[in-house]
A and B are shown apart, each in its own frame.
Chain A
Amino acid sequence: MPHPSRRSLLGGAASLAFLGGLGGRSLAATSNGRPPRNLVVFFAYGGWDPALAFDPKPDVEAVITPPGEVQSHHGHDVFVLDEAPEVGTFFRNHGAEVCMLRGVDMVSISHEICRRYALTGTAEARKPDLAAVVANTHGSDRPLPYLMVSSRAMPGPLAGVAGWLGRTNQLGAMLNPDIGLAPLPELGLPPEEAVDPVAAWLAGRHERAAGRFTGSASGTAMWEDYAAGQERIAALETHRDGFRGLPGLEQIDNQVDIALHTLANGLVRTVMLDSDANWDTHYDNALQQRYYAKLFGALDRLMAGLQSTPGLEEDTLLEETVVWVVSEMGRTPGLNDGAGKEHLPFTSTLMMGGGVKGGITLGATTDGLVGQRVNLATGALDDGGALVRPDNLVAGVLEGCGVSAEAWLPNVVPYMGPFVS
């Protein structure tokens, strides 16, 4: 039985019409100067210790670190642990593209609340994270606007544009039933002749069911989501090859490869990755050496990939993508009785990519790692300014991606310091 390689659930005319709007190398490049419309969020759950990489305090006795040294690369002073030379390698290779932010006030010391703040800019449980917002704004031309690799993602009410990959790429397995990817038994693609009649029947049923759904706002939304979801399935199946053979998530580098592949092929607009480590090191803070080594090795791979891959809308993928590397909080300067460190609301974070100022460190902390006030428009230290908080950061990233932050975070001042004005 022959199987279609670019067949969709839709009828032929619809497929062509829809695919004409999809991303892919055939897409005409967008005009230069437009804000990047892709976003990669790299989330490190648990609260990293900024002093071990981003915010060295070698002369402050109270700040306890494992052995390492301060290195300077492209305008950044970073602490390079003996056990994590990848930190130095990353800044040596890519520091010119990195905007490092110190002393960010994540507002709380509760993991869950901080995660919400960091990803949504609010403490509300049902707000969408910034990657969902960017995907919702720019992703109508992508089969899966928001790819959730990290289970820390919070798509909330924008779940209709988001899809989980699954730890073993279950999504790819289901889109490619012909190659027997686990956990799918040998199934094969549906017969080509059946696809259009089935799609037509489903569409007719959907249309005629409207009367039982559209009596309420939530019912109407559900009814529309179903149709939009079928559209997305059709698009995903057309691009099923793009999800074939993706690696599982056992290695952090695999996540990077998935992000590069799906962005480069126009499959997604936004991706949330996970550092795949629990940074909540109350018992043994030295564990973070290993985590930083893994994380910065992966970041090096990500940046190299973004720089070397031609973009769909700009010269390189990096130019059309904002990368934000964030943990939901920091850790105290000193060790507790268990050789671990407790939570601290102040932390550091990294931004790279299109429209982001490179080779610059913004913000600062005291010897106690407490954040200092800055001018939210420029990022310059300013006693009369404000502490940078997650709502400012999220709003800034949204603006940096060409999304009006006011619509999602009303009355929040976006932190534009990291972005080229």
Chain B
Amino acid sequence: MTSLSLLWLFACGTPEPSGPAPGVDPDPVSAERLTPVEHLVRASMTLTGKRPSLEAIDRVHADPDALGELVDEYLTSDAFGVTVRDMHDEWWLLESAYGSLPLVGLLPAADPARMIRELPMQPLSIAERVVMEDRPYSEIVTADWTMANRLVSSTWQGLDEPSDTFVPSEWTDGRPEAGMLSESWVYVAYRSAPGNHNRRRANAISRALLCIDFLEGIPIPDPELNLDDPDDVTDAVRNDPACASCHDSLDPLASFLAMKPYPVLTEEVWPLAMYHPNYEGVWEEVDGLPPAYFGETGGEGIEDLAQFIIDDPRFRECAVQHFVSYLEQRPGDTVDDGRVRSLAATFEASGLSARQLVRDIVLSDTFASLTDDGPAPQVIRPEHLGPLFDDLVGFTWSHDSEVPCCGNKFGSEPYGHVPDLTRDAYVGQRLLMGGVDAPLVTAPTHSLTPSALVTLRTMARLAADHETDQWSRGEARLLTRVAPDDPTNPEAVRAQLVDLHKRLYGEVLPASHGEIDASAALFDQLLTDLDDPQQAWSMVLWAMFQDLRMVTY
């Protein structure tokens, strides 16, 4: 224990409740494994960002086998669809790429915040549909459809069927149909200078789909190499063994790609053209290196590239690595190889059902382990803070920002409306909570940083005030056991606290439990000190929303 934590604990002079520790069913528990209810909480938070309902907790408490059914329910929920987008963003790094926005001003009726929010959603929505409709996961790179809403249809040439929400659509500009590989935003987010011949894009695709990041093994260039001379560079890339060891694979991958090289779009108007048939085969002009997939030839465009990828066992193993990494909040390269191979075999046997793969991971013993074999305690993700409090009390933290954004790319245009600040990396709390901000912050922190805890503390205040305000109007979501006109009834207070401990922490406790005693004592003291039942309840909720068991699961 750190000296700071010792001081904190020593100083606070805590009461000593009787009974099991917080978060533990009264039933005997294992020190090495989550209880069924704890497992439910971890699964629910991981898949949906929401705490399980009281009913779900009761079901699992009464029958641990009900966990599987509830996980199945989560896997078909809209909230899981959002999580699918989030997890794919974690390995594709497409969201929040405000530095990538085309330099052509704002779309009519759009603000920067909306463009930053919705444009990356197009490729990520393909992954969402594949998983939510339980299509073979290979469709993320083979789908002959895309997803579009009104904003993206206005942004890119070759899309129609505008709708306010994302719906299935099709590219009509003749581009090859290859799921996420066909999406304009992918190529804008990963711009590639002409001199780099699509290598950055190829590496992004390789990293996301094969878990091969060519940058990780990049050698030290020969100091004598004249990087000013394209011919010398090409010669080194082809003939220097240190360079060629990567470029022999990377460059032919890049030759499959055929989108506008580097969209400097100052002269263009909406909608933007990112694809033109003339870009097909552009490799012949830039480096003369024909497409090949790690030495295998025989393909031309992204449809062929997609076929190579889905035939590659590394695609399945990489998907497994990514899913485990996201669901267990651990770096992908730390996932045990044997576990990856085993899950990949099951994944293949299921017809590449990502939903089944997620189910297998979430219901596994490893996922529920409390030892070093299992994941660390999960830290609430910034993207889940909004859904969590929206679900609990109906509060969302929105904001209309007047701050100009994106390096004055849009002049003095204000950033605009942000419906959920906890998801926003520019003016919101996403970075402060440890989230990604592609391409600047490329990996989540999963740590209880001071700025993360300050964010949680603030969100807890906002949500607590919101709930007690609703409660005073008879519209409470959590405070349903105590009546606004009799807010201090001792039995109702205890019943309320029992519900709160169950709903917020998954603690199934009798009203006489020491933890309830401690929480009741907190309420009594706050009531005495504040002489205001509504404020006392607000502060109780504020405390409970900040608890270690709310931050971790």
Bound-complex Cα distance A370 to B453 (A): 46
Interface stretch of the complex, out of A92-100, A222-230, A352-360, A396-404 = A222-230
B58 CB within 8 Å of chain A = no
Q: Flag A189-206 by CB within 8 Å of B: 1 or 0 each.
A: 011011001111111111
B227 CB within 8 Å of chain A = yes
Bound-complex Cα distance A262 to B518 (A): 39
Bound-complex Cα distance A166 to B224 (A): 42
B465 touches A333 (CB 8 A): no
Interface stretch of the complex, out of B11-19, B281-289, B346-354, B357-365 = B11-19
B12 touches A222 (CB 8 A): no
B429 touches A166 (CB 8 A): yes
B539 touches A202 (CB 8 A): no
A160 touches B448 (CB 8 A): yes
Bound-complex Cα distance A70 to B549 (A): 62
**In the complex, which residues of chain A have a beta carbon less than 8 angstroms from the beta carbon of B450?**
144, 160-163, 229, 232-233, 236
**In the complex, which residues of chain B have a beta carbon less than 8 angstroms from the beta carbon of A378?**
none
Interface residue from B14, B195, B515 paired with A336 (Cβ < 8 Å): B195
Q: How far is the CB of B328 from chain A (nearest CB, A)?
A: 11
Q: How far is the CB of B249 from chain A (nearest CB, A)?
A: 16
Interface residue from A164, A182, A276 paired with B431 (Cβ < 8 Å): A164
| Size range of the chain B interface in the assembly | 35 or more
Bound-complex Cα distance A183 to B221 (A): 46
A163 touches B529 (CB 8 A): no
Interface stretch of the complex, out of A27-35, A107-115, A310-318 = A107-115
CB contacts under 8 Å to A, within B336-383, are 370-372, 374-377, 379
Given contacts A197-B525, A215-B371, A368-B226, contact A166 B432 (CB under 8 A): yes
B429 touches A200 (CB 8 A): no
Q: Flag A160-172 by CB within 8 Å of B: 1 or 0 each.
A: 1111101110110
A198 touches B227 (CB 8 A): no
Interface residue from A200, A209, A233 paired with B22 (Cβ < 8 Å): A209
Interface residue from A177, A203, A213, A346 paired with B8 (Cβ < 8 Å): A203
Given contacts A160-B448, A191-B535, A230-B453, contact A204 B518 (CB under 8 A): yes
B172 CB within 8 Å of chain A = no
Interface stretch of the complex, out of B149-157, B177-185, B302-310, B398-406 = B398-406
**In the complex, which residues of chain A have a beta carbon less than 8 angstroms from the beta carbon of B17?**
204, 208
Bound-complex Cα distance A223 to B327 (A): 20
B32 CB within 8 Å of chain A = yes
CB contacts under 8 Å to B, within A28-73, are 62
B106 CB within 8 Å of chain A = no
A224 touches B2 (CB 8 A): yes
Given contacts A211-B31, A233-B450, contact A203 B215 (CB under 8 A): no
Bound-complex Cα distance A119 to B262 (A): 28
A174 CB within 8 Å of chain B = yes
A250 CB within 8 Å of chain B = yes
B239 CB within 8 Å of chain A = no
Given contacts A175-B454, A194-B526, contact A333 B228 (CB under 8 A): yes
The CB with the most chain B CB atoms within 10 A, among A197, A199, A283, is that of A197
Q: How far is the CB of A348 from chain B (nearest CB, A)?
A: 16
CB contacts under 8 Å to A, within B92-138, are 99
Bound-complex Cα distance A211 to B403 (A): 46
B434 touches A159 (CB 8 A): yes
B82 CB within 8 Å of chain A = no
Q: Flag A207-220 by CB within 8 Å of B: 1 or 0 each.
A: 11111110111110
B11 touches A197 (CB 8 A): no
Chain B residue with Cβ nearest A18: B7
A109 touches B526 (CB 8 A): no
A155 CB within 8 Å of chain B = yes
B293 CB within 8 Å of chain A = no
**In the complex, which residues of chain B have a beta carbon less than 8 angstroms from the beta carbon of A155?**
445, 449
A387 CB within 8 Å of chain B = yes
Interface stretch of the complex, out of B313-321, B436-444, B473-481 = B436-444
Chain A residue with Cβ nearest B421: A183
Interface stretch of the complex, out of A7-15, A79-87, A299-307, A410-418 = A7-15
CB contacts under 8 Å to A, within B1-47, are 1-5, 7-15, 17, 21-24, 31-32, 38
B54 CB within 8 Å of chain A = no
A152 CB within 8 Å of chain B = yes
Given contacts A105-B223, A177-B461, A190-B542, contact A232 B228 (CB under 8 A): no
Interface residue from A108, A183, A215, A221 paired with B399 (Cβ < 8 Å): A183
The CB with the most chain B CB atoms within 10 A, among A110, A210, A230, A250, is that of A230
A211 touches B221 (CB 8 A): no
B193 CB within 8 Å of chain A = yes
A228 touches B428 (CB 8 A): no
A205 touches B264 (CB 8 A): no
B462 CB within 8 Å of chain A = yes
Given contacts A163-B450, A197-B529, A232-B453, contact A215 B31 (CB under 8 A): yes
Given contacts A174-B458, A227-B8, contact A216 B372 (CB under 8 A): yes
A126 touches B331 (CB 8 A): yes
The CB with the most chain B CB atoms within 10 A, among A144, A187, A227, A282, is that of A227
A212 touches B221 (CB 8 A): no
CB contacts under 8 Å to A, within B481-505, are none
A344 CB within 8 Å of chain B = yes
**In the complex, which residues of chain B have a beta carbon less than 8 angstroms from the beta carbon of A18?**
7
B546 CB within 8 Å of chain A = yes
Given contacts A105-B223, A209-B549, contact A163 B530 (CB under 8 A): no
B218 CB within 8 Å of chain A = yes
A184 CB within 8 Å of chain B = yes
A206 touches B9 (CB 8 A): yes
A342 CB within 8 Å of chain B = yes
Interface residue from B262, B448, B543 paired with A198 (Cβ < 8 Å): B543
Interface residue from A151, A191, A202, A236 paired with B437 (Cβ < 8 Å): A151
Chain A residue with Cβ nearest B418: A183
A177 touches B458 (CB 8 A): yes
A200 touches B14 (CB 8 A): yes
A77 CB within 8 Å of chain B = no
B453 touches A107 (CB 8 A): no
Bound-complex Cα distance A104 to B401 (A): 42
**In the complex, which residues of chain B have a beta carbon less than 8 angstroms from the beta carbon of A10?**
8, 11-12
B552 touches A11 (CB 8 A): no
Tell me the B residues contacting A by CB distance below 8 Å.
Answer: 1-5, 7-15, 17, 21-24, 31-32, 38, 99, 193-195, 215-216, 218, 220-221, 223-224, 226-228, 230, 262, 264, 331, 370-372, 374-377, 379, 397, 399, 401-404, 407, 418, 421, 426-429, 431-432, 434, 437, 440-443, 445, 447-455, 457-458, 461-462, 465, 515, 518-519, 522, 525-526, 529-530, 535, 539, 542-543, 546-549, 551-552
The 5 lowest CB-CB distance pairs between A and B, nearest first, are A14-B11, A204-B14, A227-B5, A218-B376, A203-B12
* Additional A-B contacts beyond A182-B402, A187-B465, A283-B262 (8; CB < 8 A): A14-B7, A14-B12, A140-B4, A161-B450, A201-B522, A203-B12, A212-B370, A226-B5
Tell me the A residues contacting B by CB distance below 8 Å.
Answer: 10-11, 13-14, 17-18, 62, 105, 107-110, 112-113, 123, 125-126, 140, 144, 151-152, 155, 159-164, 166-168, 170-171, 174-175, 177, 182-185, 187, 190-191, 193-194, 197-213, 215-219, 221-234, 236, 248, 250, 276-278, 282-283, 332-334, 336, 338, 342-346, 368, 370-371, 387
20 A-B pairs (CB sep. < 8 Å): A11-B13, A108-B221, A144-B450, A164-B432, A183-B418, A191-B539, A193-B526, A194-B535, A197-B526, A201-B519, A205-B549, A207-B9, A212-B23, A219-B370, A223-B377, A226-B548, A230-B453, A231-B4, A231-B7, A278-B99
